[in-house]
Structure 1
Amino acid sequence: MIDFTKLDYLKIGNEKQKRAYEVLTKYKIFTILDDYSPILAGTIPIEIDIEGSDLDIICEVEDQMKFEAFLIQNFSENDLKIEKITMKGEDSIICNFKLEEFPIEIFAQNKPTTQHNKMLIAT
């Protein structure tokens, strides 16, 4: 069974998964986000991605203002777009930017990452 809470499974996946692992580790994205329990979700981990699919990273965040400042501090050189929305009654932050060929989307709510509505992986 694959442990989707760690990125190691990408190293033995298809070419796109291997490349995603290289980019995410090169830029230390999960190390930077470690305090927010990041999980890679979406289509790439489960091999149903299409051309242009992004790397969806979900995070658990209590203080959204602090997290927004954190995102700006750590990723501002990447032409960030940050949006605050309410999804199914939950305040959420969506942060988009690009690393090499991959669009990145960080999605954060004040709930454990394994309980996010956005989570599209089998855990």
Structure 2
Amino acid sequence: MFETIDHLYRGTTKQNLAYKAIKDLGILHDLSEFHPILCGTLPIGIDIERSDLDVIMEAYHLDAFEKKLRHLYGEKDHFIVKRNTIRGVPVVKANFYYKEFEFELFGQPEPVTEQNAYLHMIIEHAIMLEIPGIKEGVIKLKQQGIKTEPAFCKKLGLEGDPYKRLIDFGRNKGYI
């Protein structure tokens, strides 16, 4: 369901605007070799005013990936690219603004459907389908400054590292 952005076209006003910005920018086409998937809060309808558009990608050659990002988006407003290691995995992350959205492009040497951002989105979507009312509670916590995964864990009563606990919860429930 989330491997394309088609559902955004029929979604909320903000989802429709994001669909148009992504299409206009050409990210999914221009970076298709990296299997881009829009993840995060907007695709599942729990975005708040300051939510960005997270596009995750499968990038095994981070130098080439970074070079392509700089070439395609280096002239965009507030463009910045960083390298980091997250949970022992090297990553390249680029941020910039286009139209009314902040974009965050994220590449790491792992299939997109196995990356935490994708797994979290799938789990969060499944939780919202299963537990009526949790969506509104999570959005309220996010508006108070709590990040998405900690907000879900708080609503579910899960303690510990919220990023790991959410994945454990999703596996135990059979969501992933």
More relative contact order in 1 or in 2 (CA 8 Å, sep 6+)?
1
Instruction: Choose between structure 1 and 2: higher strand proportion.
Output: 1
Count of aligned residue pairs for this structure pair: 121
Give distance in 1, aligned partners of 2:14 and 2:48: 10
Quote the residue 1:12 is aligned against. Answer: 10
Letter in 1 for 2:63: M
Quote the residue 2:39 is aligned against. Answer: 41
**C-alpha deviations, 1:16-72, integer Å up to 9, x for none?**
111100110011111111110000000000111111100000000010011111111
Quote the residue 1:95 is aligned against. Answer: 94
Quote the residue 1:117 is aligned against. Answer: 116
C-alpha deviation, 1:76, in angstroms: 1.1
Letter in 1 for 2:92: I
C-alpha deviation, 1:118, in angstroms: 2.4
Larger mean CA deviation between 34-43 and 113-122 belongs to 113-122
Letter in 2 for 1:121: M
**C-alpha deviations, 1:67-92, integer Å up to 9, x for none?**
11111111111142111010011001
Matched, 1:25 2:32: no
Q: How much identity, in percent, do the aligned residues show?
A: 36
Give distance in 2, aligned partners of 1:106 and 1:100: 16
Q: Secondary structure at the match of 1:121?
A: helix
Give distance in 2, aligned partners of 1:93 and 1:11: 29
Q: Secondary structure at the match of 2:20?
A: helix
Instruction: List gaps (5 residues or longer) in structure 1.
Output: none
Matched, 1:80 2:79: yes
Give distance in 2, aligned partners of 1:9 and 1:56: 16
Q: What TM-score results when the alignment is normalised by the length of structure 2?
A: 0.67
Q: Secondary structure at the match of 1:80?
A: strand
Instruction: Choose between structure 1 and 2: higher helix proportion.
Output: 2
**Deviation beyond 2 Å, 4+ runs, structure 1:** none
Instruction: List gaps (5 residues or longer) in structure 2.
Output: 123-175
Quote the residue 2:50 is aligned against. Answer: 52
RMSD of Structure 2 on Structure 1 (CA)? 1.1
